[in-house]
A = this chain, B = another copy of it.
Amino acid sequence: MGNDPLTALTRKLRDTVETRLAALTPPADHPPADLHGAMRHTLLAPAKRARAILAMLAAKDLGADAAAALSPACALEMVHAASLILDDLPAMDNATLRRGRPANHMLFGEATAILAAIGLLNRAFGVIAEDTALSAVSRVRLADILSRSVGSDGLVAGQEQDLKWSPALATRLDVELVHARKTAALFSAAAEMGAVVAGAGEADITLMRGFGMKLGLAFQILDDLLDATASRESAGKNVAQDGGRPSLVLSIGLEAARREAQIYLDEANSLIRATSGDGAALRRFAMVLIARLEHRIEPPREIREMRG
């Protein structure tokens, strides 16, 4: 496995998403320049674009062009970037490094960083609303899915629980609830949005939503493993700061957490196999995404390839 095991398709989709993200956000010299510079700093930093690619491959596996899901894909990346800006704030994780660059507030100040996050979340809904290539019915449903994934049962709730975390009082289920909300909610929304764009039936939409949730839970466990073992250079962000934060690695240990991730991947695989699509692109992408994280966990270990 090389340093960049993304397949040609996912690399192409990542490029498509990044080009589109740059076009959907005002230029950094467009006034107010600091606001737009701050939005672009985090949004356009090198990234996996996992949520975007997930949405596009879900659409593709259910029979649509991957590009039909480009707007929701970009909306998801905007929401994710907004969440990274906020997570790093002094009032939250107080992190200085993100995606290998200074955290947003380190360059632009707290106030502008907060406004950039608000601007990105707001733009995400605008990008969906203004995509006239999608039917109004689809756009409304996409906005509804996005709002649910961010709201009181999603990202915002997960971040609040994360901030108020009391390891001594928390059960393993509490850890998984925070992971479900903070990470897996957007993965789940991504897969569901791809299915909606493809005009899938309700059964496939539900299966895709479940697939995204399981994949997101596996991804978060492996990210915690990476955090527990990797160097700051390889992670591209501040690491080993999670002693008081929800982590399955801390709850049940490295090996058990790794097994748990594999169980989630197996469940994700079962769900994708139950859809009416072929699931090939998504299964391959999930495997590559997970393998990439696994590869950076020290010592590197092989993970079983998802069954075709």
Q: How far is the CA of A156 from the CA of B68 in the complex (A)?
A: 29
Of A50-58, A160-168, A223-231, the one touching chain B: A160-168
Residue in contact with A147 in the complex, picked from B129, B146, B161, CB distance below 8 Å: B129
Docked Cα-Cα span, A113 to B128, in Å, equals 27
Interface residues of A, Cβ cutoff 8 Å to B: 26, 30-32, 34-36, 82, 86, 89, 91-92, 109-112, 114-115, 117-119, 121-123, 125-126, 128-130, 135-137, 139-141, 143-144, 146-148, 150-152, 156-157, 159-161, 163-164
Determine the chain B residues whose CB is within 8 A of the CB of A135 once the complex forms.
136
CB pair B34–A164 under 8 Å, yes or no, is yes
| Residues of chain B contacted by A31 (CB below 8 angstroms) | 157, 161
Contact B86 A118 (CB under 8 A): yes
Question: What residue in chain B is nearest A181 (Cβ atoms)?
Answer: B32
Q: How far is the CB of A233 from chain B (nearest CB, A)?
A: 28
- Beyond contacts A86-B114, A89-B114, A115-B159: 11 other A-B pairs, Cβ-Cβ < 8 A, are A31-B157, A35-B157, A35-B160, A86-B118, A91-B111, A111-B163, A112-B163, A118-B156, A122-B151, A129-B140, A129-B143
A36 (CB) vs chain B CBs: closest residue: B152
Interface of A is mostly: helix
Q: How far is the CA of A111 from the CA of B126 in the complex (A)?
A: 26
Across chains A and B, which 4 residue pairs bring their CB atoms closest together, nearest first?
A126-B147, A91-B110, A136-B136, A129-B143
Whether the pair A151, B119 counts as a contact (CB closer than 8 A) is yes
Decide: A34 and B160 in contact? CB cutoff 8 A: yes
A122 to B80, CA, bound (A): 13
Report yes or no: A118 in contact with B119, Cβ–Cβ below 8 A.
no
Which residues of the other chain, B, contact A86 by a CB distance below 8 angstroms? Answer: 114-115, 118
Decide if A30 touches B152 in the complex (CB within 8 Å): yes
A91 surroundings in chain B (CB, below 8 A): 109-111, 114
